[in-house]
Chain A
Amino acid sequence: MNRRLWALGLLSAALIALQLALMQSFAISQWHHFAYMVIAIALLGFGTAGTLLALSRPWALRHAPLLLPLLLFACALAMALASGRAPTLFGRFDTYLLPYEPLQALWLLAVILLLSLPFLLGALVIGILFIAQAERIGLTYFANLFGSGLGGLLGLALLSGFAPERLPALLALPVLIAGLVLLPSRHRSLQGLAILSLGTILFGLAHPPELPLSQFKDLRRALDLPQSRTVARRHDPYGQVQAVTSPAPRFAPGLSLDYRGEIPPGDLLFSNGDAFGFVPRASYPDSARLLDATPQGLPYAVARPQSVLILQAGTGLAAAQALNRGAKRIVAVEPHRAALELLRTEYPESAGVFFARPEIRLFAAEPRTWPAVDRERYDLIVLPTVGTFGGGAGVMALHEQHLLTKEAFAEFWRKLTPDGLLCLTAWLDHPPRAPLRLAATLAEFLESAGIADPSRHLAAARGWGTVTYCLKRSPLTPEEVANAREFCRRWSFDPLLLPGLTTAERQHFHQLPDSTLFTLLDGLLFGDRRKIYRDYLFDLRPAEDERPFFSQFLRLKTLPHLKRLFGEGALPVVELGSLVLVATLLLTTLAAVVLILLPLARIGWRGNGRAATVGYFGALGLGYMLSEIALIHRFVLYLGHPVQAAAVVIATLLIASGLGSAASERLSLQRLTPRRAAFVVVVLLGLYIGLLGPLLHATITLATAGRIALALLILTPLGFCLGLPFPLGLRRLHQRQPEAVPWAWGINGCLSVVGGSLATLIAILAGFNVVLLAAALAYVLAGLSARNLSQKLSAP
């Protein structure tokens, strides 16, 4: 392989790894929904580069020997400077203030533009190489995609050992090396730039930027407490874990107003700046005892479980509660390995109970897939608390919550002993949403399980801030009902669901402003829940594996009504996550149009087949991104870890696409036309829509290595075929209209930008299969355009 291809591979790897590092940085300083923005930003840089090349193609080709190293050094410099320092700039932006301060949108736009700079410079290099090596486009595209694929794995590996804010400078090094590989000998100015880049990189490595946290992040607020300081920190691809000590923090969520005992202080753990758990300084059992005075004490009041499964066990207080209440066999499952490692090493005395007690077995595993691989049954299964204090503002709307889907409930039900209990707690929100969606999920699950009278299986207690549901596999006995009543009376909670419950009992201690919660709850569990789904302001339909966004309640249909009811500007208050997604989509689309398409208008449309060029390459950009993001989402549950899924899917698709591109070079355009290639992808996507779900479900019990191997096997054919249409189309275009190649690339980039954000929006509204369907339709459009592309271009 020639030196240019090596340089291309290095650059491509660095750019993809940079995206992962930036995603993690923004997840820490703001919230994780900016991950989608990073993908759009990168693609924006790529699209803009295509446009610039369209405007300066002959000049760029003429000066390529100097331009390539120049751009690589500038890219390395921008990575170390712009990417390294952008999070600091991003500190001026705050998600929570976006709806209130127009300036915030400008800060967001400034960050988008600044961050797109290294991607723009890198993409200029890639674009020049594509044009200069158009005759060998397959091999060039292969080096690009193969390098990108390896970059995904590299990013994942680096995030295991380094804080994300350190990575931009580190990743600038391979880009600098790529520049040196292409540096003509004895060119003093370029050598000077190389030295400047190296100096900046070394400075960035020695003085990494401080990641500014939103003032509304849990971690920031904890650090504002007096005498507060970080005492330990760990990194892994799952996120950054931080332990903060301060005299103030205590933990007793939803504690009874009648509790009069001590509430011991402790330290706080944060994952990516969000609250992860509480670590009592003194005694776990004492702190866990407090949970008995919250509605979470209900299952232990109803029954005496001997075996307990705690899913997403956090810092282990729920396991300690089970131990306190006499459980003999407790299995705690927590996916966050870095957090567990921090607990074990930094809190050996207080958290020791979590690791050393023979009754508790701790597994670092994905909780949703655990029941499928575990052979035991349990008297009680406890899920983590849903929502946040006072209800969320929608920042969780884009989070996949696989523990809270209908399918998950069915699996947990199967793991229960004949008299076992499933226990769920939710924060009460206003207007009520999360507790109602939980009830809807329970109702639909019970219906599918053939339970004729759900009221005999359900108990629920409501405090001033939380509600705890207990679903019993067998009907509740009169003694258990009496126990639940006594528990509520003792701690001044109101029973919300119990066999034989009277209306007056439901609001004895904690009155609500109206009966909405009770009316809707009863309707969902025992009445016409379809009518409630249809009429309520928020979407209460249960989350499913196909659409696992439990905290997404927005309904487009009721937007005008919501606006009337809550006033102007109220929507962001309840659906902030969705708003940020839409804002990102709009801003990046606007930037894409301005930076990619408008400049191209200067050179105008020349030649034939313009609509076909736009249709073909635009549809490919959209289709590829929709496929990629839908598949990442699809594999999160299967591979048990979002970052693992992203790395496996991105790396496999890119490497396979690279191989497809390389193979396309050997194929005759007569035998495999762009049109045929696009329709092959359509057929494959159709197969994935129909077969992927059942296939993944049937093989989810395989060991991790087996699942990863199967994922590679499943994704490779699609990735290979996804890599064919673009170089085939580009080759054809180059043969007939070489000046239109950058145009095609720009259009492809612009639609990719749109596709990145659009895919998630479609997923939360309609599900992953609909995203795949949209991707298939995009490839149908590409296939249809390809026919026109050939016809027009073949015209003299």
Chain B
Amino acid sequence: MLRLRITILLALLLLPARAHTEPADPYATERQRMVETQMVARGIEDPLTLKALAEVPRHRFVDEGRRSAAYLDTPLPIGHGQTISQPYMVAFMTEIIRPRPGQRILEIGTGSGYQAAVLAACGVEVYSIEIVPPLAERSTALLRELGYRVETRSGDGFFGWPEAAPFDAVVVTAAAEFIPPPLIDQLKEGGLMVIPVGTPFQMQTLMLVEKREGKTRSRNLMPVRFVPLRRGE
């Protein structure tokens, strides 16, 4: 029932957008299908997240040669060994940190800029750091062109963004073999950090880190590359 409600809500959300963008946006139908088949069908329920995913033109964040695959259920390479995450992964990571307008969120690994755009479309204040300079330049220019309000910086995500801290949430899209202590320090008490563990093009698990009463705990949520393991059983 809930899923039906969300689908109706989604359809309503998309109606004016489609009427407005269809002539200029040949991917609107694909995007709607992506939201319905890859997000709603797999249990993404947060209306704000779904609205953001229905709005952000994912195809603009991938190379022109790969635009036809932009809304498929897969990550895509964006150069420099980086990828734009699978759409469901972006949706899940967005929903899990419960973004609300006015919150302040730090993203480590801007990459294509898609995740930052989705967060910005949720109405949160986004700070995003990318270590690979060409990617940082490209995503900063694109986010500006598309009108998303995202503060970007090219540099080492290890140190976080102390001037803008503390953050309600930290989204680490380019995970490392360890979690930098400054990022945990810059997380608010009760704040959440979400990290995909594993490398692109393989089975990744989303890990949620929660800072509470001075202790940090983690929760491995589920493998996110494909339909969750338990769902298929």
Contacts and interface: CB of A to CB of B under 8 A. Distances in A.
Interface in B171-193: 175-181, 184-185
A511 to B, nearest CB: 4
Most buried by A among B175, B197, B201: B201
B177 A391 contact: no
Contacts of A215: 77, 79-81
Given A253-B178, A257-B179, A390-B197, A225 B131 contact: yes
Given A216-B81, A226-B131, A393-B201, A263 B218 contact: no
A96 B229 contact: no
User: Taking chain A's interface residues, is the majority helix, strand, or loop, or is none over half, making it mixed?
Assistant: loop
B202 A392 contact: yes
Nearest to A226: B133
Given A254-B178, A566-B227, A566-B232, 6 more contacts: A257-B179, A258-B216, A509-B217, A513-B205, A513-B221, A513-B223
Nearest to B219: A511
A510 interface: yes
A248 B225 contact: no
- In this complex, the member of B154, B180, B181 whose beta carbon has the largest number of chain A beta carbons within 10 angstroms is B181
6 contacts: A96-B200, A217-B81, A393-B202, A431-B229, A511-B220, A570-B226
Nearest to A217: B81
Given A216-B81, A391-B202, A225 B175 contact: no
Nearest to B179: A257
A789 interface: no
A258 B177 contact: no
A430 B215 contact: no
Interface string B99-139: 00000000000000000000000000000000111000000
Please list the 10 inter-chain residue pairs (A to B) with the smallest Cβ-Cβ separation, ordered nearest first. Answer: A390-B198, A393-B202, A255-B178, A257-B216, A252-B178, A215-B81, A253-B177, A221-B81, A464-B218, A511-B219
Contact of A492 (B203, B205, B207, B216): B216
A97 interface: yes
Contacts of A567: 226-227
B7 interface: no
A97 B229 contact: no
Given A257-B184, A513-B220, A565 B215 contact: no
B25 interface: no
B203 A573 contact: yes
A635 to B, nearest CB: 32
Contacts of B154: 226
A564 B227 CA distance: 10
Contact of A566 (B199, B209, B226): B226
A259 interface: yes
A451 to B, nearest CB: 32
A426 to B, nearest CB: 13
Contacts of B232: 564-566
Interface size class of B (residues with CB under 8 A): 35 or more
Contacts of B226: 566-567, 570, 573
A479 interface: no
Nearest to A250: B158
Nearest to A215: B81
Contact of A390 (B199, B229, B233): B199
B20 interface: no
Interface in B11-28: none
A247 interface: yes
Nearest to B193: A257
A157 interface: no
B222 interface: yes
Interface residues of A, number: 54
Contacts of A261: 181
A226 B226 CA distance: 33
Contacts of B178: 250, 252-255, 263
- Of the candidates A247, A261, A492, A565, the one having the most CB atoms from chain B within 10 angstroms of its own CB is A565
A226 B199 CA distance: 21
Given A390-B199, A430-B203, A248 B131 contact: yes
A100 interface: yes
Q: Which of A220, A390, A510 has the most CB of B within 10 A?
A: A390
Nearest to A574: B203
Nearest to A516: B229
A514 B228 CA distance: 12
B230 interface: yes
A513 B228 CA distance: 10
Interface of B: 74, 77, 79-81, 131-133, 154-156, 158, 175-181, 184-185, 197-205, 207, 209, 215-223, 225-227, 229-230, 232-233
B202 A573 contact: yes
A257 B225 contact: no
Contacts of A263: 158, 178, 180-181
A50 B114 CA distance: 55
Contact of B222 (A253, A257, A388, A513): A513
B155 to A, nearest CB: 8
A512 interface: yes
A565 B215 CA distance: 36
A511 B218 contact: yes
Contacts of A3: none
Contacts of A464: 179, 197, 207, 209, 218, 220
Kindly name the residue among A217, A226, A492 whose own CB sees the greatest number of chain B CB atoms within 10 A: A226
A224 interface: yes
Contact of B158 (A248, A251, A255): A248
Given A390-B205, A392-B202, A510 B218 contact: yes
A384 to B, nearest CB: 14
A215 B158 CA distance: 22
Nearest to A568: B226
Interface string A88-125: 00000010110110000000000000000000000000
A511 B202 CA distance: 21
Contacts of B204: 390, 430
Contacts of B216: 257-258, 492
A217 B80 CA distance: 10
Nearest to A293: B178
A250 B159 CA distance: 12
Contacts of B79: 215
Contact of B177 (A252, A257, A514): A252
A250 B180 CA distance: 10
A362 B84 CA distance: 44
B67 to A, nearest CB: 14
Contacts of A511: 217-220
Most chain B CB within a 10 A radius of its CB, from A224, A251, A514: A224
A454 interface: no
Nearest to B199: A390
A224 B181 contact: no
A388 B203 CA distance: 12
A526 interface: no
Nearest to B207: A464
Interface string A561-585: 0001111001001101000000000
Contacts of A255: 178-179
B233 A565 contact: yes
Contact of B198 (A100, A257, A430, A564): A430
A512 B220 contact: yes
Interface in A462-477: 464-465
Contacts of A186: none
Nearest to B211: A257
Nearest to A222: B81
Most B CB within 10 A of own CB, among A430, A431, A574: A430
A564 B185 CA distance: 42
A393 B199 contact: yes
A389 interface: yes
A221 to B, nearest CB: 4
A511 B218 CA distance: 6
Contact of A248 (B156, B177, B230): B156
B74 A257 contact: no
A510 B220 contact: yes
Interface in A521-578: 564-567, 570, 573-574, 576
